[in-house]
Amino acid sequence: MSDADLSAEQYEKHREAGRILAQARDEAAARVDVGESHLEIAEYAEDRIRELGGEPAFPVNISIDHEAAHATPGIDDEATFGEEMVNLDIGVHVDGWLADTAITVDLSGHDDLVEASAEALDAALDVVEPGVRTGDIGAEIESVIEGYGYNPVVNLTGHGLGHWQQHVPPNIPNRAVDSGVELAVGDVVALEPFATDGSGKVGEGPTEEIFALERERPIRNRQARQALDQITEEFRTLPFATRWLDVDRAEMALRRLKQQGIVHGYPVLQEAEGTLVSQKEHTVIVTEEGCEVTTRSR
């Protein structure tokens, strides 16, 4: 989305979302340690976002070891952190204007894999400017990660951020591609390198705790109807977690909504060979001089 489409006030909401998100991310990451609760960390970050004046743009993703995306604690989840690789992926919106960020907190002793995705993000940020092609950004990411002896996850990408929309064009690949589009002044995009010591591809796992509205239509079941009312009023088109629903038997209500095609789920994405994945992500606004990173620590 370019500057022709957004007002100065709307850009400032993107920036405010980024400021809130940077603080919530840093505070949540500092709390990740062996023995700590997944659910408590997720709820801490989501509550902190609200305290700081924003709203979660999607449920806090807590991906462990071979997981790459879409993992979030369930209702009454009792999981705790072990000596594992932990990826936190967090989003904030202010009136629907978004920021998206991720960081790896490594409790497993694989520093190089963490550095690979972090340095790849730095390299990508260095080349972002008006006119750069998304495939060239991917080439920078791929070169750094392969230089560490690892593979980029090629079927996950960075992405644009829209109003009440977490993923919009353009996609930002994590490898060199001949196709792609040129970035323009005012584009708001999330750059999101993933590095792995596996094959570089992810697939869908058997579980899902994150959902989003697909379409509105009547439904007779009372709990499902109450859940749909909350979804359309609070979350709109943004992803939400089962544990966010203020209805009895939330899992059953969601099952009915999914059966009717009203919501769709996001299965947890896992590295195909079951190997480790690290991640680093920032949101940027493309400027005349390069880019403004909205989610950088202050």
> Catalytic amino acids?
89, 100, 159, 167, 192, 281
User: Is there a contact between 68 and 104 (Cβ–Cβ < 8 Å)?
Assistant: no
93 annotated to a ligand binding site: no
100 annotated to a ligand binding site: yes
Alpha-carbon Rg of the chain, whole angstroms?
19
Cβ-proximal residues to 44 (8 Å cutoff; 6+ apart), any chain: 27, 28, 31
Report the C-alpha gap between 228 and 236 in whole angstroms. 10
289 annotated to a ligand binding site: no
282 annotated to a ligand binding site: no
CB atoms closer than 10 angstroms to residue 169:
12
110 annotated to a ligand binding site: no
Cβ-proximal residues to 195 (8 Å cutoff; 6+ apart), any chain: 113, 116, 117, 120, 145, 148, 150, 151, 152, 153, 277, 278, 279
Binding positions for a divalent metal cation are: 89, 100, 159, 192, 281
Binding positions for substrate are: 70, 167
